[in-house]
Structure 1
Amino acid sequence: MTIRPRTASLALALPLALIVSACGGGAPDTSQIVLQQGQELSSTAGPGDDQADVTADPTDSGDSTAEAAEGVVTSFSDAKPAVVQIMAQGTLRDPEVGLTTTVGSGSGFLISPDGLAVTNNHVVTGASTLEVFIGGDTSEKHTATVLGASECSDLALIQVDVDEPGAYLAWADEPPEPGLDVYAAGFPLGDPEYTLTKGIVSKAQANGDVTGSSSIDHTIEHDATIQPGNSGGPLITLDGEVLAVNYAGGALQEGASKQFWAIAASLAEPMVAELAEGDAESLGINGRPIFDDKLALSGIWVSGVKPGSPASAAGLLPGDIVLSLNAIPMATDGTYRDYCDVLRTSGDNAMTVEVLRWDTAEVLRGEINGSQGLEPILSLAEEAGGDVPQGDAPGDGGMPVPTYYDYVTVTDDTGSLSIDVPTEWNDVQTDPMYAPEGLAFIGASDDMQAFRDGWTHPGLVFYLRPYQGDEWDTLHYYTYEDVCAAQETGEFSDVMYSGVYQIWSQCEGTDGLVINLVLSNNDQTYTAVMTTYVATEADLEAFDRAFASFTVYNN
């Protein structure tokens, strides 16, 4: 029996714009918080009248020569020759418009006389080329190479090609305190003219996950105005030392909070030292969290993949959605938190990954930093799809059957098991008393009693048992040979599970199918049993969705 690739349910054919625009069901609202990332190079407009005052050097224009300086900066007023503008160009996969060539700008700052510079990861990640201008001097263009980047800390260390030693900034030793005077230096809005804005520290330890696109322990909140293009620029003290690295701000609009956030030096300095040896807390993905409550879908959208990175070696492509790492679902809260927790725990060790390949509607499993590449998982909908009605007419008993379903994630009462089921299957049982050994159990149908009685109502039961040994032996206990006329059997295995399945047809003279599936995790700590009655192709898709989405938690 040929096993075809597992394809996503029909519900996943909905426009992806619905996914990236939805933030319901517990995902945080970050609509008023924006990454201060690159601005299109054609945009050189300065700040509007409703924005905070910006102080620029009145003697210099965008094409002037930067001040000649060398050595460590000791005053905020002398920081200009140590601050850089970064022009990044690359091709990324946008979830709404497809492949796009991005040309944008950000800021950064030199931390050594030989051209080492710090910026944000989101300024340089995915870029094919980097051009750097030092201190607003547009007459001399410098190339740059990314030495290391961290997706989770949103920091990057780059090497700027310089001809001679220059000015640089030192990290601040003093702890941030509310009320401390600070200055935000950089090149906002793609403008080559250096700007410096003044403010104070509002909070010394503010929330770290203000954008959802990183996982930072805490940030410094301040009111020195920053805008798109300020990303990666320094927040400096009166003595010209780097108190933090700017990376996000509140939307500058009427009634919006004019507060801004920066990555504290106490977090940035040790991470930058680590980045000198290469990437850290990173798989080489330029991505963003997505969350859609209606489709019961969350994950990390892959906009781009860094060549030679662990993600590239594993076979991830732009347009993929990372659904889980090490069996932990991604972005269920609309942030990078779970993604970064797994990366920080796993380090360079192999980790399992589950991916939805949007272009082909396949779900793939494999390893990152391991030996097993991405492979499609089993699809029984493909195997048996021609054997059941399409579902555009009422089923037995006059019940209307939808041609496709919306989905909801159900978790059992022990918190050990979750699975996606159709919203129409709203008669749900999650009490472990229904499982043979009292472990995790989920049952779902539009009518569970009718489902148990048989042959009129679709539904499923999925439960855990202690490891049972050979799955074929276990499958023999789940037979329908006395009421069904035909069967097909097969086996499967992937990086996470191995098991067997059995498809029964012509049960009690109906057109429906009974599907039994027995699988064990590769660590052989548990066996899972799933039994489904499907009346239409929509129910087959529901079976595949349940099989692809189930998650067992190590509680």
Structure 2
Amino acid sequence: MSSTSSRRRTRRPALALSAFTLTLVSLTACAAPATPPAPSSDAVTFDDVQSATIQIEAVGTFVSPEEGGYEAAGRGSGFLVSSDGIAVTNNHVVVGAGTLDVWLGGDTDKTYNAKVLGSSECLDLAVIQLPGDSFPFFEWRKGEIKTATDVYAAGFPLGDPTFTMTRGIVSKASTPGETPWASLDSVIEHDARIRGGNSGGPLVDEKGRLVGVNYAGNNTYDTNLAIHRDEVTAVIDDLIAGNDILSLGINAQAIADENGQGLGVWVSSVQSGSPADKAGVEPGDLLTKLQGVTLAQDGTLADYCDVLRTHGQDATLDVDLYRPADGIYYRGQFNGDALEAVQVLSTPGETSDSSEVAEGEFVSITDDSGNIQVEVPAAWNQLDGAGYTNDDGTWSSVIASPDMAGFADGWETPGVWVAASQDASTKVTPDELLRRADEFLAENCAPQELSPFEDGVHTGTYQVYEQCGGVGAAYVFLAATANDGSYTITVAVQANTEADLSAIDRVIGSFIAQF
């Protein structure tokens, strides 16, 4: 699926989040350069960098893809930028936290309770407020930031209250920052080592002036990234004023399967009162589509953040997500209709029991051409990905079943058949495809009422058939056209057990076509 930006065509090595020693997630974006504030004679010098660097402990409920849910404290770093307690850190260090405890300069004898003023998951920036005044603070470096500039990464790695600094140089003064945790036009790449817990800490020059905000590192490739000074100064006044930027209020990470196929944007935590919170998004959800755009196909947040850049965070945005905790797909809107379960075979108002088909029992399959992708039970392991041609055109096709012959010839074996064609979009309507299917299915099953289908990408109709073949099988046939008119798609699924019924919802909620 095409995106709204041309920035993300090159994939970078995955970067291990440097931050929060317990949470996984989010990162940055981009803004127009801004002139750094004028220097202040009261700002700290290089010898006093520690005094204006803070350690942050966030306590709350977080969910990781690997470890599941936990209520715990994660620690990151930050730094003060004014004497009245304004501090900068990463969004992923603080978003979704129930409480924020802050220690100044490694002094654990005095704890400050901070509050978040403004944040951005795409920029991976947050501004927090410490109570009090007369704090030591940093000023921003003036002038150009060049390759080979000496830099120092400061912070509190690994949750240790002992302050550390590492030394390096700027290896790339400006480089694209498309990562699983962020989408940036320009970041600083340097070799001052960043470790877990350093996220949100300052990157400074030899005079102690701010160059950027550290947010990610990869020890294998000895790569360390910082949000460029100009990105921060362009938005910091808005964040201080309490305005979130390029943000729906989630702690986000693009994730992929073991084959590198993007699965979506994982939500580790949710900011209370945010658009995500109001829509019903929960920690542990996986966002799969936003405003009709399939997310994280390239393993980064680029698509997610580009939708926000295109429409704005206050727009009504269609969203599809999968919730592993209950095994159900949901559809709804940010700043609009709340999430509702995708329940093809359920009675309206009821929630289907998907406990029989757990998250780990599904796999993502594609047809031979790579045009179709859909999630099916792992037990449906006999596949046919060959396409075909008929009077309507050339079709990409994928069939999955535990017994291909049984699925093709009888009513006692479950399975799925998804087919899509660019030619057919100009030759046959979804209604005609439904009529053809009904000629056969109505003779063998009890047809239910036709129902409209719309998922933000496709518009069409589906029909449920019950008591098929005298063995009580259920069958769903869906026909739809892409909203841009580029292709027609059909989905046929047969269920023979309660677990299969749950699989139907998963299939209908996960199919994707890309031409």
- TM-score over 0.5 for the pair: yes
Check the 8 A contact 2:441/2:465 in 1, yes or no. no
Q: How many residues align?
A: 467
- Which structure dedicates a bigger proportion of its chain to strand? 2
Gap change, CA 1:538 and 1:439, over 3 Å in 2? farther
Match of 1:182 among 151, 159, 165: 151
Give the match for residue 503 of structure 1.
Answer: 465
In structure 1, how many angstroms separate the alpha carbons of the residues matched to 2:402 and 2:269?
45
Cα distance, 1:266–1:542 mapped onto 2, change above 3 Å: same
Contact residue 420 and residue 546 of structure 1 kept, 8 A:
yes
The one of 266, 276, 280 aligned to 2:230: 266
3-state SS in 2 of match to 1:308: coil
Indicate the structure (1 or 2) with the bigger Cα radius of gyration: 1
Q: What is the DSSP-based 3-state SS (H/G/I as helix, E as strand, rest coil) of the residue aligned with 2:208?
A: coil
Q: Which moved more, 1:293-302 or 1:176-185?
A: 293-302
Q: Is contact 1:468-1:474 (8 Å) kept?
A: no
Which of 379, 398, 419 is matched with 1:462 structurally? Answer: 419
Cα gap change, 1:27 to 1:450, in 2 (>3 Å): farther
| Structure 1 counterpart of 2:239 | 275
Identity fraction in percent: 36
Contiguous gaps of at least 5 residues in structure 2: 1-9, 23-39, 349-359
**Among 66, 80, 84, which residue is 1:110 paired with?**
80
User: Among 518, 536, 547, which residue is 2:479 paired with?
Assistant: 518
Q: State how far apart, in whole Å, the 1-side matches of 2:370 and 2:17 are.
A: 39
CA contact (8 A) 2:367 2:384 kept: no
1:341 to 306, 310, 331: 306
Q: Secondary structure at the match of 1:177?
A: coil
Q: Does the C-alpha gap of structure 1 residues 446 and 105 become closer, same or farther in structure 2, counting only changes over 3 Å?
A: closer
Deviation at 1:97, TM superposition (A): 4.4
Q: Within 2, Cα distance between the matches of 1:229 and 1:221? A: 18
Partner residue, 2:213: 245
Q: Could you tell me which residue of structure 2 aligns to residue 486 of structure 1?
A: 445
| Residue 419 of structure 1 pairs with residue 374 of structure 2 | yes
1:352 to 306, 310, 318: 318
Residue 80 in 1 paired to residue 50 in 2? yes
The letter of the residue matching 1:169 is F
The within-5 A match list for 1:16-35 is 30=14, 33-35=15-17
TM-score (norm 1): 0.71
Q: How far apart are residue 410 of structure 1 and its match?
A: 2.2
Task: Evaluate the alpha carbon distance shift between residue 434 and residue 409 of structure 1 in structure 2; reply closer, same or farther with a 3 A threshold.
Answer: farther
Taking structure 1 as reference, are residues 139 and 512 closer, same or farther at Cα in structure 2, changes over 3 Å only?
A: closer
Matched, 1:408 2:376: no
Is contact 2:116–2:126 with CA below 8 Å preserved after alignment?
yes
- With over 3 angstroms needed to count, the CA separation of the structure-2 counterparts of 1:189 and 1:245, relative to structure 1, is same
Question: Which residue matches 1:13?
Answer: none
- Classify 1:406/1:167 alpha carbon distance in 2 versus 1 (closer, same or farther; 3 Å): closer
Code of the aligned partner of 1:428: G
CA distances 1:109-140 after superposition (whole Å, capped 9, x unpaired): 22223222111112112221222233344444
Structure 1 residues 300 and 414: CA distance shift in structure 2, 3 A: closer
1:442 aligns with 2:410: no
Higher relative contact order (CA 8 A, sep 6+): 1
Greater mean deviation of Cα atoms: 327-336 or 84-93: 327-336
* Structure 2 residue identity aligned to 1:182: V
Q: Alpha-carbon deviation of 1:364?
A: 1.0
Residue 311 of structure 1: how far off its partner (Å): 0.6
Question: What amino acid is aligned across from residue 300 of structure 2 in structure 1?
Answer: T
RMSD: 4.0
Partner residue of 1:122 out of 92, 112, 131: 92
The CA distance in 1 between the partners of 2:367 and 2:398, in whole Å, is 10
Deviation for aligned residue 1:481: 5.0
What do the CA deviations read for 1:206-257 (whole angstroms, capped 9, x no partner)? 45245x2222233322222332222211111123221111122233xxxx45
Please give the alpha-carbon distance, in whole angstroms, between the structure 2 residues aligned to 1:275 and 1:358.
Answer: 33
Aligned-partner residue type, residue 500 of structure 1: Y
Return the alpha-carbon distance in structure 2 between the equivalents of residues 447 and 434 of structure 1: 27
Change (3 A) 1:262 1:381: same
Paired with 2:126 and 2:463, the residues of 1 have a C-alpha distance of 48
Matched residue SS, 2:174: strand
Asked whether the equivalents of residues 293 and 408 of structure 1 are also in contact (C-alpha less than 8 Å), the reply is no
2:510 — aligned with what?
549
Asked whether the 8 Å contact 1:381–1:543 carries over to 2, the reply is: no
The answer to whether the aligner puts 1:475 opposite 2:441 as a matched pair is no
Read off the aligned partner of 1:427 and give its amino acid letter.
D
Contact 1:35 1:247 in 2 (8 A): yes
Contact kept, 8 Å, 1:427 with 1:448, in 2: the verdict is no
CA–CA distance in structure 2, aligned partners of residues 435 and 544 of structure 1 = 30
Q: Is the 8 A contact 2:190 2:224 kept in 1?
A: yes
Q: What is the rounded CA distance, in whole Å, between the counterparts of 1:449 and 1:35 in structure 2?
A: 44
Counterparts in 2 of 1:42-61, with a 5 A limit? none
- 1-side partners of 2:324 and 2:375: how far apart? 18
- Superposed CA deviations along residues 408-454 of structure 1, whole A, max 9, x for unmatched, are 33268595x543457734322346x4472x47642435799979985
Q: Please, which runs of 5 or more residues in structure 1 have no aligned partner?
A: 1-25, 41-69, 384-403
Counterpart secondary structure, 1:341: helix
Cα distance 1:260–1:294, how it changes in 2: closer, same or farther (>3 A)?
closer
Give 2:341's aligned amino acid: P
Following superposition, the deviation at residue 466 of structure 1 comes to 4.0
Is the 8 Å Cα contact of residues 208 and 218 (structure 1) preserved in structure 2? yes
Q: Deviations over 1:7-31 (max 9, x none)?
A: xxxxxxxxxxxxxxxxxxx99763x
Q: Which region of structure 1 is more displaced relative to structure 2, 492-501 or 171-180?
A: 492-501
- Aligned-partner Cα distance in 2 for 1:197–1:482: 69
AA of the residue aligned to 2:374: I
Contact 2:383 2:398 in 1 (8 A): no
Amino acid at match of 1:359: A
Give, as a single letter, the amino acid of the residue that structure 2 aligns with 1:517: L
